[in-house]
Amino acid sequence: MKNQIIEQSKRAKVFIKSFVKWLLIAGLVGLISGGVGTLFRMAVEYANLLWGSSRWLVYLLPLGGLAIVGCYQLCGMQSAIGTDRVIGSVRAEETIPVRLGPLIFISTSITHLMGGSAGREGAALQIGGSIGTHVGRLFHLDEKDMSLVVLSGMSGVFAALFGTPLTAVFFALEVISVGVIYYSGLVPCLVSSLIAYKISGFFGFDLEIEMALNLPPATALSLLRVAALGVCCALLSILYIFVMDGTAELFERFLKNPYQRIFAGGLILLGLSLLFSSGTYNGAGMPVIFAALKGDAQWWDFLVKILFTAITLGSGFKGGEIVPTFFIGTTMGCWVGGLLGLDPGFAAALGMVGAFCGVVNSPAASMFLGIELFGSEGLIYFGIACSISYMLSGYYGLYGSQKIMYSKTKAEYININAK
């Protein structure tokens, strides 16, 4: 009995020691992530405001692209380094240069300032990964702990940018390896995420989207309509990934030099911006997302946004793919939902979470996103849309280094990269 008590005491000390360690380390990561994430959010929002009031900045897109490539090469980094490398670092397949954080901060701000079509969460993951790497080196963490501190950095900056702490936690845990969640990272990610979220809130930043939905009664017919919309989300996510990957491949095939590639992309975007002179498809497109959630969207909005985003990111401009996913998901959902007999605003919200799930293969994070943005009353609908979109989107994903560990159709270990 005495030996058992001693053994149990030793085990308890191990868990308590680990808990305290991550409370302190993840707390520090959260403080830094919250501050940097808030500053980054300010910079991107200010860049969008400047572009909105000075549309002539779009003429500088090609020059802005050259500046982005120049910054990366001046720092001895290839322009292609991005979110995939952060994901690889969690599995110890890659290392993240600390200078990646400042570079993606500056280059994403340039993209938004000049009207490029991009989001900011790709930058959030890269900045967060850079912060986690720096803190991990400061504490001389081993390889396994470095993975967890990188995840906590990703969660922290994501939470500061979007005001969705639980989504940030589960997105970081799920996006690395589909079918396997690193539960050992739950406490570090949650601590970092909550602290960063509170810091962002202290400076006046909260949820960008927060609204109640006009929910239908949970009849068999309404559930079938939601399921049909989930199928559309899966198809949309595959289309989006195909176009994104195909556009990047075309740029790389015909323009080997990164300066030529991004300059050409800037010229094409300039031409498209003059053609669609309303500015609807430039920048993050948050006004269009809000309009779609209120039931107002054009059927072609999501198609044109895919084109703008594919050229922006495929040619070498920096930013993220997720806010454009929200744009295409809400506008498609608004239009298709109306055809299916659903309330267009409600369908737009389903389209947002369903498309998000389809492109990042993160069903739990997608359901939490729906809850944090629109309330828990719609959970059953979010669950249906996300589950169907997750399964039918196959093994496609925005991030090529994402591992699909288990099959989506049977209990089978497959361990393949997302296509």
Q: Does 209 map to a domain?
A: no
**Do 227 and 138 lie in a common domain?**
no
Q: What is the pLDDT of residues 385-418, one digit of tens each?
A: 999 999 999 888 888 777 777 788 887 877 777 7
Q: In total, how many domains does the chain have? A: 2
pLDDT of residue 418: 74
Q: Does 10 map to a domain?
A: yes
**Do 234 and 196 lie in a common domain?**
no
**Do 402 and 263 lie in a common domain?**
yes
Q: What is the distance between the alpha carbons of residues 162 and 38, in angstroms, rounded to a whole number?
A: 10
Where is pLDDT greater, at 214 or 85?
214
pLDDT of residue 105: 83
Quick one: how far is CA 122 from the chain centroid?
6
Tokens 């890269």, located at residue: 126
Q: Does 207 map to a domain?
A: no
**Do 14 and 150 lie in a common domain?**
yes
**Do 281 and 402 lie in a common domain?**
yes
How many Cβ atoms from other residues are within 10 Å of residue 10's Cβ? 9
Q: What is the pLDDT of residues 310-353, one digit of tens each?
A: 999 999 898 888 899 999 999 999 999 999 999 999 999 999 99
In eight-state DSSP terms, residue 318 is: -
**Strand-by-strand arrangement of the 403-406 sheet:** 177-178, 403-406, 413-417
**Do 228 and 349 lie in a common domain?**
yes
Q: Is residue 94 very low, low, confident or very high in pLDDT (cuts 50, 70, 90)?
A: low
Q: Does 211 map to a domain?
A: no
Pick the last residue of a domain from 202, 232, 254.
202
Distances in Å between the Cα of 393 and the Cα atoms of 35, 355, 358, 398, 418 are 36, 9, 6, 11, 11
Pick the last residue of a domain from 170, 202, 234.
202
**Do 128 and 41 lie in a common domain?**
yes
**Do 234 and 351 lie in a common domain?**
yes
Q: Does 156 map to a domain?
A: yes
Q: What is the distance between the alpha carbons of residues 148 and 257, in angstroms, rounded to a whole number?
A: 36
**Do 62 and 169 lie in a common domain?**
yes
Q: What is the distance between the alpha carbons of residues 58 and 72, in angstroms, rounded to a whole number?
A: 22
**Do 180 and 252 lie in a common domain?**
no
- H helices of 181-285, in order, are 186-202, 220-254, 258-275
**Do 294 and 237 lie in a common domain?**
yes
Residues above pLDDT 70, as percent of the chain: 94
Q: Does 214 map to a domain?
A: no
Q: Could you list the residue range(s) of the whole structural domain that residue 400 is in?
A: 220-417
**Do 196 and 230 lie in a common domain?**
no
State the CATH number of the domain containing residue 318: 1.10.3080.10
84 Cβ partners below 8 Å, 6+ apart?
A: 399, 400, 401
Pick the last residue of a domain from 148, 170, 202.
202
Q: What is the pLDDT of residues 295-320, one digit of tens each?
A: 999 999 999 999 999 999 999 898 88
pTM for this entry? 0.91
